[in-house]
């Protein structure tokens, strides 16, 4: 019988079967050749993440996982790189996602409470280290061979340094059904309070077997989230109902915090405090290879790249899905236009540069944004226009055009008489326009 070939990675790890994959990464089971320990290897395509500007997200994920060493958090052991890949060597969690367990039906109260206690313990530890997860859901909660919970996937997490001068976070991210109302609001939010809301949704799901906020119509779902409208099933004990009403409180300033939650009678039953974890195996620190550092350095000088859109961006950029009316009235907005295209980001930028040259505008590029700066002095100063490019898929883009400075009348004239006609070859559809220039490739 022919022996199956094995793949040895970086002369240290023997790769096994694939555990899962996403757009930019694959996760494999692996074995440490020196210690024999089973681990998980996350293999990230370096070129893909560089091209769409995700290297900062990877840097943040590494920083976060270095800070949060806790028994109920998946551990990162080592980060390495080759010419084309970045490798995360991580703790292997044998039991799979908590989601798979809930998908079979609701859990018993004691089991749900144990998982919830472990989740809160891990989240509380993360917050004490200035880390906010921002995407807590059963798919990101794993179970080990002992049935203990492990929080994973810190790709959307934020560090306290990410807060602006107002002391709040401002990036709208997460998974729609689990996200706090203040995150959708886009005015700024407390990362700890937003995480607690998501934990409350998880608790509801564990005990009910379904989501508290679930509607086919997204606007209706967000309306219910914004008002905290949900109904507990008849089998929920009264003390659980009371606790959930405090966690799923749409007002973050009066929502229960972790300290108060830990004092709750229902929560405290059988609760065990777990200490922070010991150092990584072999007494080593989490190492980040020189190749990874080089990839990070390269990203600082890499060409302009579009911003990747998550579910919230897609919803908020869609006509009819402006959610701001749910939260505030009379909100003033800058004049803006938006179009979709199947042309690559490089072509979009080239087209904008052509228009700028023709109209004698200066061009400035940063991240996924192109700014056109007029040379003429108008009634309200020089006209400046921002065009931000968002990638929905590698073959489908949304470009948002905003007036950054100058007179609104001049801006509208420029858009209607110069910008739109000049972009007609690359535009699939302007927002609100009935005419489609060409059919998009399938999403």
> Phi and psi at residue 29, in whole multiples of 5°?
-75, 145
- The angle, 0 to 180 degrees and rounded to 10, between the axes of the packed helices 290-300 and 55-67 is 140
The DSSP secondary-structure symbol of 417 reads I
DSSP string, 149-204: EEE---TT-EEGGG--TTS-B----S-GGG--HHHHHTS-B-HHHHHHHHHHHHHH
Cβ atoms 250, 326 nearer than 8 A: no
Rounded CA separation 279/223 (Å): 45
Cβ atoms 218, 179 nearer than 8 A: no
Determine which one of 45, 56, 124, 135 is catalytic. 135
Q: Report the number of secondary-structure helices (H) and strands (E) in the chain.
A: 15, 18
Token pair 């769409």 in the structure block, residue: 52
The DSSP secondary-structure symbol of 73 reads B
The DSSP secondary-structure symbol of 282 reads G
Q: Is the dihedral of CA 157, 163, 169, 173 positive or negative?
A: negative
Best CA proximity match to 200, nearest among 247, 139, 262, 269:
247
Rounded CA separation 429/420 (Å): 11
- Is 135 assigned a catalytic role? yes
CA distances from 22 to 19, 27, 44, 255 (A): 11, 9, 10, 34
| H helix runs in 235-336, sequence order | 238-247, 258-262, 265-268, 290-300, 311-316
Best CA proximity match to 57, nearest among 92, 95, 20, 86:
86
Catalytic residues: 135
């Amino acid at each position: 019988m022919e022996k199956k070939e094995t793949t040895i990675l970086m002369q240290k790890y023997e790769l096994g079967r694939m555990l899962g994959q996403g757009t930019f990464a694959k996760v494999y089971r692996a074995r440490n050749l020196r210690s024999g320990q089973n681990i998980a290897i996350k293999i990230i395509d370096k070129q893909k993440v560089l091209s769409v500007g995700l290297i900062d997200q990877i840097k943040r994920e590494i920083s976060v996982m270095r800070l949060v060493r806790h028994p109920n958090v998946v551990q990162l052991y080592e980060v390495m790189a080759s010419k084309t890949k970045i490798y995360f060597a991580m703790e292997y969690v044998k039991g799979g996602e908590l989601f798979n367990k809930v998908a079979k039906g609701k859990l018993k109260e004691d089991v749900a409470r144990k998982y919830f206690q472990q989740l809160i313990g891990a989240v509380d530890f993360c917050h004490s280290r200035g880390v906010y997860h921002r995407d807590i859901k059963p798919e990101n909660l794993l179970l080990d061979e002992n049935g203990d919970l492990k929080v994973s996937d810190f790709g959307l997490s934020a560090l306290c340094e990410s807060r602006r001068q107002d002391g709040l976070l401002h990036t709208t991210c997460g998974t729609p059904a689990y996200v706090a109302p203040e995150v959708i609001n886009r005015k700024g939010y407390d990362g700890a309070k937003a995480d607690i809301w998501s934990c409350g949704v998880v608790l509801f799901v564990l005990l009910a077997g379904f989501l508290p906020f679930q509607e086919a119509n997204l606007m209706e779902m967000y309306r219910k989230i914004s008002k905290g409208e949900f109904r507990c099933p008849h089998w929920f004990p009264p003390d659980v109902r009371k606790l959930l009403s405090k966690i799923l409180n749409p007002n973050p300033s009066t929502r229960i915090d972790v300290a108060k939650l830990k004092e709750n009678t229902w929560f405290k039953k059988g609760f065990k405090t777990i200490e922070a974890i010991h150092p990584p195996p072999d007494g080593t620190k989490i190492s980040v290879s020189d190749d990874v550092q080089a990839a990070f350095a390269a990203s600082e000088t890499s060409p302009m790249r579009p911003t990747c859109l998550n579910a919230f961006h897609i919803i908020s950029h869609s006509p009819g899905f402006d959610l701001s009316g749910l939260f505030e009235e009379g909100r003033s907005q800058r004049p803006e236009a938006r179009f979709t295209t199947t042309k690559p980001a490089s072509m979009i930028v080239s087209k904008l540069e052509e228009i700028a040259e023709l109209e004698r505008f200066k061009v400035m590029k940063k991240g996924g944004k192109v700014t056109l700066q007029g040379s003429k002095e108008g009634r309200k100063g020089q006209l400046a226009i921002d065009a931000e490019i968002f990638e929905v898929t590698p073959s489908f883009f949304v470009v948002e055009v905003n007036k950054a400075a100058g007179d609104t009348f001049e801006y509208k004239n420029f858009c209607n008489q110069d910008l739109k006609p000049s972009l007609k070859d690359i535009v699939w559809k302007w927002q609100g326009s009935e005419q489609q220039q060409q059919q998009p490739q399938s999403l």
